[in-house]
Amino acid sequence: MLGQQLVNGLALGLTYSLTAIGFTLIFGVLGLINFAHGEVYMVGAFIAFTLVAFLHVNYFVAFLLAIAFSGLMGYFLELIAFRPLRNAIPEATLIATLGVSTFLKEFANIIWGPEVHTINTPFLSSSFAIGGIQISVIQIVILVVSVLLMWGLQIILYKTKTGYAIRAISQDMGASYLMGVNVDNTIAMTFVIGSALGGAAGVLMGTYYGAFYPTMGYMPGLKAFVAMVLGGLTSIPGAVLGGVILGISETLAGAYISAGVQDAISFLILIAILLFFPQGLSGKKRGV
């Protein structure tokens, strides 16, 4: 029973982590919150849904296309809602992303309708037992894909020029600009990477729960935000850890206490942790 809940919690937590990384990258670079991140997650999921359900594209091809589309959305999101407001008060950007978020949610409502959609993936939802613990193929996929994506992110951040630039900007935007870093392009790239990860999380979660609907990004967006803060805002390992802690504690609370407290538990944990560690779990000054 406990092992089963841990497996379920880990799968849930890893998708929170993927979503939280997007928040963290953007916060690390700009110091701003992107309230449209949950909607990028939702649109990414719906793109995969449309490709699989209506165009009968292979699931994994659809998954890659959805990631690419989410990345593209991140690019335009930065162009529309962040770049023009870079010198404005932070609240202005927040409301701009909120406008984009409302727009995307309602637009999805018109295109796909408010009802819950599902895709039929017999292979992914089949499961097998290891030592009495039921593990479904989609849980394995979530684990493998999350680890691959996070590993890929580390390579991008630490082995490529773009990664260097992202890390430089997150430490000091002005100095990076003076050193010849192309700030505009790098920030756009950060959004592309962060949104692609968010979209990937959306597709995985939509498949895992078998539910695609226009407001599906709302709660995970909120939880990922919490995971980011738990992890110390700008630390990527911290965000991953925060996401996993949230996922596992929620699943355990849902199984052993009641389904009603499942959502409350993550916020209770958040407040409890922040009261003791006001800078998050692995909080450091600055830098991705």
Rule CB under 8 A: which residues touch other proteins? 27, 33, 35, 80-81, 84-85, 88-89, 91-92, 94-96, 98-107, 109-110, 218, 222, 225-226, 229, 233, 258, 260-261, 263-264, 267-268, 270-271, 274-275, 278-280
CB of 223 to other proteins, least distance (A): 10
Nearer to other proteins, 89 or 178 (CB): 89
**φ and ψ at residue 119, rounded to 5 degrees:** -115, 150
Residue closer to other proteins by CB (options 143, 274) is: 274
**Cα–Cα distance between 129 and 32 in angstroms, integer?**
44
Structure-block tokens of residue 102: 């409302």
Min CB(283)–other proteins separation in Å: 9
| Between 205 and 246, CB nearer to other proteins | 246
* Residue 137 or 265 having the CB closest to other proteins: 265
CB of 155 to other proteins, least distance (A): 28
Q: How far is the CB of 232 from other proteins (least distance, A)?
A: 10
CB of 33 or CB of 140, closer to other proteins: 33
Evaluate whether 21 touches 240 at the Cβ level (below 8 Å). Answer: yes
Measured from the CB of residue 272, what is the shortest distance to other proteins in angstroms?
A: 10
Shortest distance, position 199 Cβ to other proteins, whole Å: 20
- Cβ atoms < 10 Å from Cβ of 35: 22
- The residue among 47 and 269 lying less far from other proteins, judged by its C-beta, is 269
Cα separation, 222 vs 278, whole angstroms: 19
